[in-house]
Each structure stands twice: as C-alpha cells, then as structure tokens.
Structure 1
Amino acid sequence: MVPGWLLLLAMALPPGATGAKDCVFCELTDSTQCPGTHMRCGEDEDCFTGQGVAPGLGPIINKGCVQSTSCGHEEPVTYMGVTYTLTTTCCSGHMCNRAPGPESGQLEGVTAAGLALGLLLFPHLL
C-alpha cells in the first residue's frame, strides 16, 4: 500500500516533472495564432517556441520538441520561399510552450495550493 503522503505528493507534481512531457506542436506559420496539437517529447527534450525574422517581413513561429542542446540557437529556415533567421527558445514544463492565457499560470498555483492545503489538513501523514 502507498503511504498517503506519497500519493498526495505524486498527485501534486506537475505532469512533466517525471521525465517525458507533452508540448504544443505547430508547423512554421506566419499567423499570430499557433494553437497547435499535443506532442509527446522524449526525456532529453524540451518544449520550444521558434520565432523567425526576415528583413521587411512579418515574423514566423513554430512550436514542438527539441534536444536540450539546441535551445537558444539561431538557424536559417525557408518559409514561403524566404529565408528567415529562426531563434529557438526552450522551456521545461509540461505544455509550457502553449499560448499565454488566463489558464497558463493558474494551474501551477492550484497544484501548489492543493499540496499546501493537504499538508495543513493532514499533517499526520508526514
């Protein structure tokens, strides 16, 4: 049988804290919106958002999983016949590369608050 405090701790951990994580994936696009789809990353990968620029043109973006060693690098990519400089920005949390919105920072707070409340209500589990 699993001790109650261990079960509570496991439930409080964010989904990406145990190795592989889910990230948002979307192809290169010049849209300001990139809702994307869910993608499972490998254990040695991080979520990323790529932002590309080219002189005189609007930005392009893409999202997905990338090897941690590729984070922060610039590389040329061709989109619609134009070569852009794409910079990859990584993050390490579960679905951390999703579009910012009201729910983005709130889930982590709910998880932490749930853990704190559980420890206050059930101190004998420690």
Structure 2
Amino acid sequence: MVLGWLLLLVMALPPGTTGAKDCVFCEITDSSSCPGTHMHCGDDEDCYTGHGVAPGVGPIINKGCVQTTSCGKEQPVSYMGVTYSLVTNCCYGQLCNEAPSPTGGRTAGAPTSLALGTLLLLRHLL
C-alpha cells in the first residue's frame, strides 16, 4: 500500500519540483539537430531551447540554462556575421530541452503510469 501512495505522489508532482535539474547545452548552430551535452542548472534557472531567425537565412537553435526571468524573451544574437532574433523557449524538468524521442518524449508514459499507480492504490484500499 505504501508503494502505491509513493508512486501516486511522485507521478502527481509537476516536473522540476524534485530539486535542481540538468539540461542539455548546445552552442548556437544552424543544424537541425543539436544533441549537446548535459549541464547543471542553478536554482533560479530553467532549461531552454533558443530559436533564432533572420531575414534571408535559415534558422538557428541553441540550448542550455537561463534565468527564469528571461524565459520567452527575444534578444539579438550574432552568428556567422548575421544578427538573429533569438527567442528562449523554457521548459521545466530534467533534460526537458533534449530532442524529442520518436515515441513522443520523456513524459509520454506519465498518464499511463499515473493511472496504474491509482489502480494499485485503489486495489489495496478496497
């Protein structure tokens, strides 16, 4: 019964509420893929993926940690002699800014796990 309660509690917590998090870091690139490396974020930082555009050239991306107050903000960045308008799109949770997997991402099984935990809990209560 305790295991069911613990599973339900862990699955009910919003992503990123379990302490400090790791994010994917990737330098600015014009490649469509940005696998990057893992980096540790500060307490007041979130993971982000930056998307940049400039007239007449292809888009750029980068990833890393950013101050929470900078989420969603637009800023100019220079890459290969071109000034891009880069917007930081934040996400919340461990490695949430890594490339999505073909199965739908790291949280694809969360609703199923929550339902299973609830069923296990109810089975022990009844």
1:14-53, aligned counterparts within 5 Å? 16-53=16-53
Deviates more, 1:115-124 or 1:69-78: 115-124
Percent identical across equivalent pairs? 66
Aligned residue-pair number: 123
Structure 1, unmatched stretches of 5+, are: none
4+ runs of 1 displaced by more than 4 Å?
Answer: none
8 Å Cα contact 1:16/1:22 also seen in 2: no
State the partner residue of 1:83: 83
TM-score (norm 2): 0.79
Offset at residue 93 of structure 1 (A):
2.6
Q: Provide, for residues 48-84 of structure 1, a one-character-per-residue CA deviation record: whole Å limited to 9, x for no partner.
A: 1111122211111100110110011111111112221
State the partner residue of 2:95: 95
- Partner AA of 1:118 in structure 2: G
State the partner residue of 2:118: 119
- Partner AA of 2:60 in structure 1: I
Structure 2, unmatched stretches of 5+, are: none
Root mean square deviation, CA, Å: 2.5
Distance 1:20-1:48 versus aligned 2 partners, 3 A rule? same
